[in-house]
Amino acid sequence: MSNVTYKYIRQNKDVQTYINMADAALNSIGYTEHSNAHVERAAESAYMILNTLGYPQRDCELAQIAAYMHDIGNVINRNDHAQTGAVMAFRLLDKLGMPANEIALIVSAIGNHDEGTASPVNPVAAALIIADKSDVRRTRVRLAEQDKAKRGLTVNDIHDRVNYAAEKSELYFSEDKSELILDLTIDLEISSVMEYFEIFLQRMILCRNAAKTLNVKFGLIINNTKIL
């Protein structure tokens, strides 16, 4: 087992630099927040998923590491950022002396997290996919204070509008652990449920496939109504 822990990766200055600069690059082209708030939430969710299902603690930690590093490829370009991020992660983790079998799990998860090319090729990848795609929340939207005061009604970009409409976003298992549920509360004055599916349908299908890899169902609740 490697001594490269999630705690160590979070404190690594090189990794932090890439996360910060990747988020700055996305900010410059108008994308939602992909900073520490996003990757830490994704890491927490990825760990929760595998831990709840009884996977070995090291696998749970590898999912955390993959989730924390999954968006660093955006520092190069938004296009194909999953693949470039995987190559960057390989270079960083190999340099730190992580064993090849652990690196392989992490880079395959990172390389398979973007919905355009993603596939839940292993449990770590499946956990990362669900953790990443379930991070829908108001605080991911980069809005001026005057726009926030108007409750986002001036937001024209559909991605910003849908995220800003999300008043609550929770990811949890059913009591018998047979279903992983994304539970959303959406302000319908800001965005409709149809708009959510317009941009997130492919992601939800991917989450369903990822859950199947973990031998559970994926459920979606919007405003207390079961959708999936």
What are the pLDDT digits (tens) for 6-29?
Answer: 999 999 999 999 999 999 999 999
Which residues on adjacent β-strands are paired with residue 173? 180
* Residue 149 pLDDT class (50, 70, 90 cuts): very low
Alpha-carbon distance of 43 to 207, in angstroms, equals 16
Alpha-carbon distance of 92 to 73, in angstroms, equals 12
pLDDT at 150: 53
Reported for 51-56, long-range contacts at CB under 8 A and 24+ positions apart, including other chains, are 52/173, 52/177, 53/177, 53/214, 53/216, 55/123
Q: What is the DSSP letter of 7?
A: H
Find the mean pLDDT for residues 214-228. 96
Q: Rounded mean pLDDT of the chain?
A: 93
pLDDT in tens, 21-51: 999 999 999 899 999 999 999 999 999 999 9
pTM > 0.85: yes or no: yes
pLDDT in tens, 155-164: 567 888 899 9
Which residues on adjacent β-strands are paired with residue 171? 182
Residues 176, 122, 78, 98: is their CA dihedral positive or negative? positive
Find the mean pLDDT for residues 77-86. 97
